[in-house]
Amino acid sequence: MTVDDEILAARYARGCVVLIDDDAEVLSALSARLMFEGYAVETFASARHYLAARDLHEPKFPGPSCLLCDLRMPEIDGLALQRQLQGRDVPPMVLMSGQSLPQDVVSAFHGGAIDFLIKPFDAADLLLAVAKALSTNAAQHTAAQRQLDAAALVASLTDKELQVIRLVAQGKTNPQIMLSLQIALRTVKLHRQRAMEKLRLDSVAALGRFGLEAGWRG
């Protein structure tokens, strides 16, 4: 890895802001301000350009990201882009506009926007909105990784160990599990012990938290 790569990797680790605005001057000014703060920045002159590049582009380095998008743009405006991205794996969005109606702001938040900036906004408001969006994305990444880790641990269990430990997570006692699964009490205890060891858990409380991360329901 070159020195330039190390610098860029550090920027992505801090956060990548994807800027979408049809005003070249605004795009340049915002990009410069965010890069000054140490963020990685990717710029697009329209929502159409962003959509065209989105499925073909992977960030060069890992880290949280967010979208900072203008509301009023030709072809596809900010709200239309937000609707197109719903249900897809996209980072949190911050919308901005100098000519917005109250219903635009309401629509943006109903659509899941993290924040809405009214132009002209100062640097403090910009950086606060970006930090909130990046923090949200980082939390999403952490939760997703925990689910993957939990799934990998669950996959190491035998079918019977999984049956037993899920009943334990539901608050069932060993005798109740014995009756439910029609196996010996000693067998219940053995499966329970082995499952807890494989899941790297040391208490029922920890098992409860693990069950939530693993997506166990009932």
Decide if domain 3-144 falls under CATH 3.40.50.2300: yes
What pLDDT is recorded for position 57?
Answer: 65
Measured distance CA(218)–CA(119) in Å, rounded: 49
Query: Quick one: pLDDT band at residue 217, thresholds 50, 70, 90?
Result: confident
HSE-up of 152 (CA within 13 Å, CB side)?
7
Query: Quick one: pLDDT band at residue 147, thresholds 50, 70, 90?
Result: confident
Query: Do 67 and 93 meet the contact criterion of CB atoms below 8 Å apart?
Result: yes
What pLDDT is recorded for position 56?
Answer: 67
What pLDDT is recorded for position 5?
Answer: 82
- Report pLDDT digits (tens) over 94-142: 999 987 778 888 899 988 999 999 988 999 999 999 999 999 999 999 9
What pLDDT is recorded for position 103?
Answer: 85
What pLDDT is recorded for position 59?
Answer: 65
**Token pair belonging to 42:** 């990717």
Q: Report domain 156-214's class.
A: mainly alpha
For the chain, give the number of residues: 218
Q: Which long-range contacts does 173-177 make (Cβ < 8 Å, 24+ apart)?
A: none
Among 19, 79, 82, which residue's Cα sits nearest to residue 46? 19
- Each domain of the chain, given as residue ranges in start order, spans 3-144, 156-214
What is the signed CA dihedral for 2, 142, 109, 125, rounded to 10 degrees?
A: -50
Is the fold of 3-144 the same as that of 156-214? no
- Report pLDDT digits (tens) over 30-64: 999 999 999 999 999 999 999 988 876 666 788 99
**Token pair belonging to 82:** 């937000």
